[in-house]
Structure 1
Amino acid sequence: MDGTYWNIALSNAALGTIGALLGGLVLAGALVWAVPLGIRTRRREPGPPKANEHPTLPESGPVHESSEIREPNEVPRAADESERLTPHQLGGPGSRRSDRQERPRWESGGGGSFGSGGSGRT
Structure 2
Amino acid sequence: MQLAAASGLMSLVLFGIAVGLLALLAGGFWMNSRVKYREPPRPRPEEQPRLPPEGAVHEVRENRESQEIPRTPEGGRALTPYELSNMDTRPSDSKERPRWSKGSSGSFGGGGLGAH
Shift of 1:82: 6.1
> Which residue is 1:84 aligned to?
80
Q: How does 1:75-114 map to 2 (within 5 A)?
A: 75-77=69-71, 80-81=76-77, 84-86=80-82, 89-93=84-88, 95-103=89-97, 114=112
Whether 1:43 aligns to 2:41 is no
Structure with the largest fraction of helix: 1
In structure 2, stretches of 5+ residues that fail to align are 105-110
Give structure 1 stretches of 5+ with no counterpart: none
Q: Which residue of 2 aligns with 1:52?
A: 46
Q: For 1:14-72, what per-residue CA distance to the aligned partner results, in whole angstroms no more than 9, with x for missing partners?
A: 67766554333222111112223322332332221111111122222111110111223
Q: Percent identity?
A: 30
Q: Structure 1 residue 65 and structure 2 residue 63: aligned?
A: no
Structure 1 or 2, whichever has the larger Rg, is: 1
- TM-score norm. by structure 1 comes to 0.58
Q: What's the secondary structure of 1:90's corresponding residue?
A: coil
Q: Secondary structure at the match of 2:90?
A: strand
Contact 1:78 1:84 in 2 (8 A): no
TM-score (ref. length: structure 2): 0.60
